[in-house]
Chains A and B, each alone.
Chain A
Amino acid sequence: MDISTTTDVPPPAAQRPVAEHKRAARGATRPGDRIFLGLSRGSGILLLVIMGAIAVFLTYRACLAISKDHGNFLTTFEWNTNLQPATFGIAVLAFGTIVSSVVAMAIAVPVAVAIALFITHYAPRRMSGPVAYVVDLLAAVPSIVYGLWGALVLVPHMNGLYGWLDDFFGWTGVFSWDQGAPRSMLTVGILLAIMILPIITNVSREVFRQVPRMHEEAALALGATRWEVVRMAVLPFGRSGVISASMLGLGRALGETMAVATVLSPSFDIQASLLNPGGGTFAQNIASKFSEADEFGRDALIASGLVLFVITLVVNGAARLIIARRAEYSGANA
């Protein structure tokens, strides 16, 4: 009896503040509060509406185009929207987009991680601040400037590297070269790598900074060399952060337009070699075909843009989910 009363007493006392708190939180009783909450919640909803509208309108216009496509939208190796009947397909674009992004990632991720390590763990302290600052600023250089630089400076400098790759690795087929202008997927990949480097570096750097000092000092106390500290304490902690940073970079590389449009000399076929010009990417194809496209042609370009939208959505969503999962873990680490 006694016990039951003592156990009965606490709940109402604990519930009362909660109820009051709820009323206070809900209590947009003043008109000013109601208006302000409405405005800010409205903006949030507007963002969701915009995302939905992008998906809906792109799909609508894309359906108009695809329904009149004489070829297969996914497998056709052509882009003829001015002919009757129109034939177009995204096979070449999907291939080119993936290849250029993979090349870019293969180059950018190791270098970006190394630079992030350089800034956080290797550089002399007086140097790391300015280096980080410069990398920050480089993330702000517009893509069209990278494109101009790539086309007028990088491309002429690629001949030596191309000849060398052809000499030593030409037998693989991937690196064979027909002595054409080096406006090919490899150059595009290298340029994209340079462009996404600052993004990946910045995010990785932040993650490496958050490595608990205790972990590093424990490793040092056990006699680890600096590289062993990095390998055993820093990289495992930062792995998921680096993965999501890379996926953010990948998202950028997939959707990059101007840098590809200025450097690549496009054609609607698939090149087995990275060194021979040809191929195309979604964004580059939209930019270069747009000016001569009629309304139907624009719808077809919108259809290819929809595919790009879905791909980047998946990549970015995955990156965010990885970050979210990491946040749960880092709570346990703290």
Chain B
Amino acid sequence: MSTAAVTDKRPSTLRAASLPRWTPWAIAAGSLVLGIGISLAAGLDSHIQWGLIAAVLFVLGTYGVAARVEGRRQAKDRVATSLVWVAFLLAVVPLISLIWVTAARGVKVLDLHFLTHSMGVVADTEAGGGIYHAIIGSLEQVGLATLIGAPIGVLTAIYLVEYGRGRLAKAVTFFVDVMTGIPSIVAGLFILSLMLIFEMQPFGFAGSLALAILMMPVVVRSTEEMLKLVPNELREASLALGVPKWRTILKVVLPTSIGGITTGVMLAVARIAGETAPVLLLVFGNPFINNNPFEGAQASLPLYIYQQFANSAGSGAAYDRAWAASLTLIAFVMILNLVARGIARWKAPRTGR
């Protein structure tokens, strides 16, 4: 940020004594050495403890040195800066570990055979088998959920932006916000209560309905933002030419914002594709290939990961499959995300000027 530039450009004659730029690195190295030394002397064996001791020494050292040379306020500033950096590094470690482990363990069994075979004749504890049935299930459930959730979400957003005045619009806005926070398992329980009332057995479409409920508020939110970006002049120009409002929306507003809407829908799809809980309750899981989402239990990728983890009694082959399925799922979600962002950048509405 330019704050740094401002500080650097200050003429040095007006400045109080300041530490050279390499000071933080020197203190870091010193406290690391000291921390390891103390840990070895005290016989601590956990590397986390070494790191913690070194970190405490670093913060204390920075404060002490800076307070002596530059004064209290500068010392506090330095400590805050180092704390922010430490928080950042602290958060990055597990996240990198997650991606790294998934990729490293996932590639072990991930091949064409894995992608094109089901678990029909393979016990959960044996090696072999694959995720074909889970991919089919996921695609069908998420596809159907999108067919239901996306149009309703987009239409609701159109209502809120183009027509919405008064109490109904306010209520819809508030409940869309609240709905965003519904736990996925509650959406699953809702459909489950309906299934119990109508005495139905698990099937793929039931999962789609729960996923659609989870998807709608996300689509409404993002579409709303996009529609608000469309300049009012475009609407007014169209209306001034005598074009009816509904044609203005269909022919002017939506085409202008279609990139953003597509992005929003794809991000919502990416979100529901990873949902496990409702699928666990409503679709139940099935080692065999079932192409019909309207009858009989199906599998799905996230559910497959959970079941490989939970039903395998610690079998290595099942864990390998779980990691490989995780890698497939992450790849799917990430590609959706990247494509969505690409579309957003490519089709960004050119507002004004």
- Contacts from A to B (Cβ < 8 Å): 25, 28, 30, 32-33, 35-37, 39-48, 50-51, 53-54, 57-58, 60-61, 110-112, 114-115, 117-118, 120-123, 125, 131, 134, 136-138, 140-149, 151-154, 160-161, 163-164, 194, 197, 216, 220, 225-230, 248, 251-252, 254-258, 261-262, 283, 286-287, 290, 295, 298-299, 301-302, 305-306, 308-309, 312-313, 315-317, 319-320
Chain B contacts of A317 at CB under 8 A?
Answer: 174, 178
Given contacts A110-B87, A161-B48, A228-B73, contact A153 B184 (CB under 8 A): no
Instruction: Give Cα distance in the complex from A103 to B210, angstroms.
Output: 29
Q: Is B280 positioned at the interface, with any CB of A under 8 Å from its CB?
A: yes
Q: Is the CB of A149 within 8 A of B193?
A: no
Q: Is B164 positioned at the interface, with any CB of A under 8 Å from its CB?
A: yes
Q: Is the CB of B91 within 8 A of A111?
A: yes
Q: Give which listed residue, B88, B280, B322, contacts A115 with CB less than 8 A.
A: B88
Instruction: Give Cα distance in the complex from A291 to B229, angstroms.
Output: 47
Q: Is B352 positioned at the interface, with any CB of A under 8 Å from its CB?
A: no
Instruction: Give Cα distance in the complex from A261 to B333, angstroms.
Output: 22
Give A333 Cβ to nearest chain B Cβ, in Å: 20
> Contact mask B157-192 → A, CB, 8 Å, 1/0?
011101111001101101111111111111101101
Q: Is B11 positioned at the interface, with any CB of A under 8 Å from its CB?
A: no
Q: Which residue of B lies closest to A34 (CB)?
A: B246
Q: Mostly helix, strand, loop or mixed at chain B's interface?
A: helix
The contact size tier of chain B is 35 or more
Instruction: Give Cα distance in the complex from A60 to B163, angstroms.
Output: 35
Q: Give which listed residue, A44, A122, A248, A255, contacts B84 with CB less than 8 A.
A: A122
Give B315 Cβ to nearest chain A Cβ, in Å: 13
Q: Is the CB of A44 within 8 A of B164?
A: yes
Q: Mostly helix, strand, loop or mixed at chain A's interface?
A: helix
- Contacts from B to A (Cβ < 8 Å): 1, 3-4, 6-7, 45-49, 73-74, 76-77, 79-81, 83-85, 87-88, 90-91, 94-95, 97-98, 101-102, 151-153, 155-156, 158-160, 162-165, 168-169, 171-172, 174-187, 189-190, 192-194, 196-197, 213, 216-217, 220, 244-247, 249-250, 267, 270-271, 273-277, 280-281, 302, 305-306, 309-310, 319, 322-323, 326, 329-330, 333-334, 337
Chain B contacts of A32 at CB under 8 A?
Answer: 244, 246-247
